[in-house]
Amino acid sequence: MSDRFETHEHDVLVVGAGGAGLRAAIEALGQGASVGVVSKSLLGKAHTVMAEGGIAAAMANVDSADGWKPHFRDTMRGGKMLNNWRMAQLHAQEAPERVKELEQWGALFDRTEDGRILQRAFGGHTFRRLCHVGDRTGLEMIRTLQDRGVHMGFDVYMECTIVRLLTDGERCAGALAYWRETGRFVVFKAKSVVMATGGIGKAWPITSNSWEYTGDGMALAYEAGAELMDMEFVQFHPTGMVWPPGVQGILVTEAVRGEGGILRNKNGERFMERYDPKRMELSTRDVVARSIYTEVKEGRGTEHGGAYLDISHKPAEYVKKKLPSMYHQFKELADVDITKGAMEVGPTLHYMMGGIRVEAETAQSSLPGLFAAGEAAAGLHGANRLGGNSLSDLLVFGRRAGLAAAQHAKETPAPNLDEGQITSGESEALSAFQRQGGENPYAVHRDLQKVMQNLVGIFRIREDMEKALVELAKLKERAAHTSIEGSRMFNPGWHMSIELKSMLTVSEAVTRSALMREESRGAHSRIDFPELSPEWGTKNSIIWRDGSAMGLRQDKLAEMPAELKQVLAEDK
């Protein structure tokens, strides 16, 4: 290999240091693999820290009738049966063990009166199932995993961005990256690569997601030849802040409703009675988000275009104890005391159900040697994710990905790196520096966000999405002509020019899949096809790179075994 590049070699390279990446790294280390973790941010800042409500796991500490079967059933129903049933089964069966393990690694959950892990109610879950730490469960999880991994001895490459996956024939062979601090390139050679890069929210302007959520993992996997699946299923969380403008989109945890919060419109009506009288505020996220959207659209919204969410009927001390960050968030950012008055909330882009297509047991993608877990992977959540199922997803499939990646590394010889891929990746990443007088990449990003918000939002229709494809093509052209000021040292404009490419790829994948699926299911709502279609219910949407074009097809869901059908048929 050319000595122009700093090179590191690992059995397993984990991309992303959130819950899934750290859990994968810990498992691979436990298998004796040498593990490198690459992270765009500093260790411990990953998006997982923002997870508030809890980890769904059928521990049955509070409701003794809970078990893996009800959890499986809730997950499948919440996902409108499009879920990979095997993933949903493994997830429901293994989540309690993963939570106990986390506790034994030092995580301190809130307790029941008899000294066990406390569980709270959440949307779409039949039983009280979410293990939590107030409303900062994700922070507890990331610190626990971070500490364990650091002391087990993984190498962490912080503030390092992957720009290209390297392949050796039909297998993944590593990655090309650059240090954000210096702008210098670095090559990772690895027998297995685990993508744990999270979601794509930054392609929309109103989102609860951090800057990191630019769809890098999905776009990199796609470019390297892996398939993406169910990209049309993008979750709008029903409750983001709507006022003041600076805080628009910041998440208001579902735990507010889990703890008894009530939604009302400007006329004081508890409007969920009209949309889901049985489950009310604790209906699934797709239903609640559409309900709020509809109330606002039909003129019953609040002053700033949202709904009221009220928890002030609960004792002030209880609210402060169970929802401390919400209390401070509203007090400091919106001048609202939630123990006394209602919050104003509206939908905010929150989560990507689709992603890299993986096998249930191993989390391996369609590209050998490339694995994916957490939000970057598709399958578990189907057409809509239940709250709390994300943190458990990270643990269950992070572990499985780490295990399978380490196993794969044991069984395969070291790959060969192709210098041509490295040099072309390098020159592509630097291309914006070569151009003079082009646009600021941030301007292209703003326009991309407008296109996705206006044309590929909560409710979709053919004309809009066709228009979006035309706009995306123009934006791609503009993105290819941006230019950069300054040097390669910690230069956010340059970083944006690279991330823009990922966002454009995933935005196109979302739009094409959404246009193809002519039905409404879970988070995908078509104005022109408002009903569930039994036929579409048997198909996953698959996206792959077909030369320079985006290939699109439908694959049939695998047949569910009789015993799982039986579990679904039981009502309780």
Partner 1 sequence: MAEALLKVFRGNKDGGQSVEFKVPVAPGMVVLDALHYIQGHLAPDLAVRWNCKAGKCGSCSAEVNGRPRLTCKTRMDSLPQNEPITVIPLKTFPVIKDLVTDVSWNYKVNKKIPPFTPKPGASWKFYQDDVDRVQEFRKCIECFLCQNVCHVLRDHDKYDQFGGPRFFVRVAGLDMHPMDGVSRTKLLKNDLGIGLCNITKCCTEVCPEDIHITDNAIIPLKERVVDEFYDPVLWIVREIRGARET
Of 252, 373, 223, 239, nearest in space to 306 by CA: 239
- The interface region with partner 1, picked from 70-78, 365-373, 419-427, 483-491 by CB under 8 A, is 483-491
Distance CA 87, CA 392 (A): 12
Contact indicator for 485, 439 with CB cutoff of 8 Å:
no
Rule CB under 8 A: is residue 437 a binding residue for partner 1?
A: no
Rule CB under 8 A: is residue 433 a binding residue for partner 1?
A: no
For 476, list phi and psi in degrees, rounded to 5: -60, -45
Report in angstroms how near the CB of residue 553 gets to partner 1 at its nearest. 36
The only residue of 308, 371, 494, 536 in contact with partner 1, by rule CB under 8 A: 494
Is 113 or 563 the residue whose CB approaches partner 1 more closely? 113
Rule CB under 8 A: is residue 332 a binding residue for partner 1?
A: yes
Rule CB under 8 A: is residue 418 a binding residue for partner 1?
A: no
> Of these residues, 91, 164, 237, 290, which one is catalytic?
237
The only residue of 297, 313, 328, 410 in contact with partner 1, by rule CB under 8 A: 328
Q: Locate tokens 């199932």: which residue?
A: 129
Looking only at the bridges linking them, the beta strands covering 539-546 and 228-229 are: antiparallel
Contact indicator for 513, 541 with CB cutoff of 8 Å:
yes
Report in angstroms how near the CB of residue 115 gets to partner 1 at its nearest. 4
Of 101, 95, 100, nearest in space to 117 by CA: 100
- Show the site string, 142-181: x = touches partner 1 by CB under 8 A, - = not: -xx--xx-xx-----------------------------x
DSSP 557: P
284 burial (CB, 10 Å; 0-12 / 13-18 / 19+) is buried
Contact indicator for 87, 96 with CB cutoff of 8 Å:
no
- CB atoms under 10 Å from CB of 179, counted, come to 18
Contact indicator for 8, 188 with CB cutoff of 8 Å:
yes
475 burial (CB, 10 Å; 0-12 / 13-18 / 19+) is buried
Rule CB under 8 A: is residue 303 a binding residue for partner 1?
A: no
Rule CB under 8 A: is residue 251 a binding residue for partner 1?
A: yes
Helix (H) or strand (E) holding 220: helix 216-224
- Show the site string, 97-126: x = touches partner 1 by CB under 8 A, - = not: ---x--xxxx-x-xx-xxxx-x--------
The SS3 of residue 174 is strand
Token code pair at residue 510: 């979302």
The only residue of 154, 243, 529, 536 in contact with partner 1, by rule CB under 8 A: 243
Residues 17-76 that bind partner 1 (CB under 8 A): 41-47, 49-50
The SS3 of residue 170 is coil
Rule CB under 8 A: is residue 329 a binding residue for partner 1?
A: yes
The residue type found at 151 is H
The site that binds partner 1 (CB under 8 A) totals a number of residues, namely 67
> Of these residues, 47, 71, 91, 257, which one is catalytic?
257
- The interface region with partner 1, picked from 130-138, 352-360, 370-378, 506-514 by CB under 8 A, is 130-138
120 is known as an active-site residue: no
Rule CB under 8 A: is residue 246 a binding residue for partner 1?
A: yes
The only residue of 56, 145, 250, 468 in contact with partner 1, by rule CB under 8 A: 250
Distance CA 491, CA 137 (A): 33
Distance CA 394, CA 407 (A): 19
DSSP 249: T
The only residue of 5, 442, 459, 544 in contact with partner 1, by rule CB under 8 A: 442
Contact indicator for 73, 568 with CB cutoff of 8 Å:
yes
- The interface region with partner 1, picked from 162-170, 326-334, 401-409, 541-549 by CB under 8 A, is 326-334
Rule CB under 8 A: is residue 212 a binding residue for partner 1?
A: yes
Cross-strand partners of 351: 235
The only residue of 65, 316, 473, 489 in contact with partner 1, by rule CB under 8 A: 489
129 is known as an active-site residue: no
- The interface region with partner 1, picked from 139-147, 264-272, 284-292, 412-420 by CB under 8 A, is 139-147
HSE, CB side, 13 Å, CA atoms: give it for residue 494. 25
Rule CB under 8 A: is residue 436 a binding residue for partner 1?
A: no
| Residues making contact with partner 1 (CB under 8 A) | 41-47, 49-50, 100, 103-106, 108, 110-111, 113-116, 118, 133-134, 136, 139-140, 143-144, 147-148, 150-151, 181, 208, 210-212, 243-247, 250-251, 325, 328-329, 332-334, 440-443, 446, 484-487, 489-494, 496
* Positions marked catalytic: 237, 257
